[in-house]
């Protein structure tokens, strides 16, 4: 039975991932983390037959991360953690462009530094796990090759943070692949979440299903890759690799 830990589960993609995993017989334990529980997440937990456990986690706070590691370690009772999904993130509107952006420091703290903080803290548990999978949820807006495609999106700090977390993931992959880890990025698509907005392309469940499909099929040979979801008939969501 596989164990998962997901950051940012109170809403959006993290919540959808939690819902899907809660319904899979192959899943043993899902650690759904967030700063606080929402009623929707609480409902998922209560209907999971003990499969989903809430762990308080503020990814920007060292003490909170340390407490979360202790809680998960205790619950696993000597076993390792199989899968870590770094999903928590923020996107702040900055309509006046890159030269007048105001949220760069805050965005880097949540979208990049916190990914390193959480990943490094849970690494000892992942080393003991059976699958050793570390997934970073990123965005195609972080692709420098495709910068013209996303030029009109008024989120310069977000774009910069996603380019940075992509490289962070590559650095982790280079170091951990020889140890049997699978470390990679996935862009879940433009989803109709609080972050993506109502004009987005896809329902959150579509992105969540694809993220889990890619995660399930991933092997150490996928380490360091930047993957796109697949949506039938779409030229954007082609299911291949995204250029950096």
What is the domain count for the chain?
1
pLDDT in tens, 157-173: 999 999 999 999 999 99
Q: Is 158 a catalytic residue?
A: yes
With tokens 């951990």, the residue in question is 176
- Between CA 127 and CA 80 the distance in angstroms is 7
* Residue 242 maps to a domain: no
Q: Which class for 54: exposed (0-12), middle (13-18), buried (19 or more C-beta within 10 A)?
A: buried
* Residue 110 maps to a domain: yes
* Residue 240 maps to a domain: no
Range of the domain at 25: 2-228
Q: Is 172 a catalytic residue?
A: no
CATH number of the domain that residue 49 is part of: 3.40.50.720
Yes or no: say if 137 and 13 are a contact pair by the CB < 8 Å rule: yes
Report H helices in the chain: 12-22, 39-46, 62-76, 104-108, 114-128, 156-176, 204-217
Q: Is 139 a catalytic residue?
A: yes
Predicted confidence band of residue 235 (pLDDT cuts 50, 70, 90): confident
Question: Residues 4, 158, 172, 237: which is the catalytic one?
Answer: 158
pLDDT in tens, 114-135: 999 999 999 999 999 999 999 9
Whole-angstrom distance between the N-terminal and C-terminal Cα of the chain?
A: 34
* Residue 211 maps to a domain: yes
Question: Residues 162, 192, 225, 227: which is the catalytic one?
Answer: 162
* Residue 191 maps to a domain: yes
Phi, psi of 192 (to 5 degrees): -80, 70
pLDDT in tens, 6-51: 999 999 999 999 999 999 989 999 999 999 999 999 999 999 999 9
* Residue 40 maps to a domain: yes
Q: Which class for 24: exposed (0-12), middle (13-18), buried (19 or more C-beta within 10 A)?
A: middle
User: Which 8-state DSSP code applies to residue 131?
Assistant: S
* Residue 70 maps to a domain: yes
- Between CA 175 and CA 181 the distance in angstroms is 9
* Residue 236 maps to a domain: no
Question: Residues 139, 143, 157, 187: which is the catalytic one?
Answer: 139
């Amino acid at each position: 039975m596989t164990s998962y830990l997901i950051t940012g589960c109170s809403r959006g993609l993290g919540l959808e991932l939690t819902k899907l995993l809660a319904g899979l017989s192959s899943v043993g334990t899902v650690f759904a983390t967030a700063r606080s529980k929402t009623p929707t997440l609480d409902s998922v937990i209560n209907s999971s037959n003990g499969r989903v456990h809430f762990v308080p986690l503020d990814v920007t706070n060292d003490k909170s991360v340390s407490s979360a590691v202790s809680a998960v370690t205790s619950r696993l009772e000597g076993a390792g953690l199989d899968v870590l999904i770094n999903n928590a993130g923020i996107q702040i509107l900055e309509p006046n462009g890159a030269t007048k952006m105001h949220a760069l420091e805050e965005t880097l703290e949540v979208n990049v530094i916190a990914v390193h903080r959480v990943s490094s803290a849970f690494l000892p548990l992942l080393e003991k796990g059976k699958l050793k999978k570390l997934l970073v949820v990123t965005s195609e807006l972080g692709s420098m090759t495709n910068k013209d495609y996303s030029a009109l999106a008024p989120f310069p700090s977000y774009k910069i943070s996603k380019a940075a977390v992509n490289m962070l993931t590559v650095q982790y992959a280079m170091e951990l692949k020889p140890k049997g880890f699978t470390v990679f990025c996935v862009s879940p698509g433009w989803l109709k979440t609080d972050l993506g907005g109502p004009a987005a392309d896809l329902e959150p469940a579509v992105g969540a299903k694809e993220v889990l499909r890619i995660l399930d099929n991933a092997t150490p040979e996928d380490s360091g890759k930047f993957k796109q979801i697949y949506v039938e008939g779409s030229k954007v969501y082609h299911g291949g690799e995204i250029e950096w």
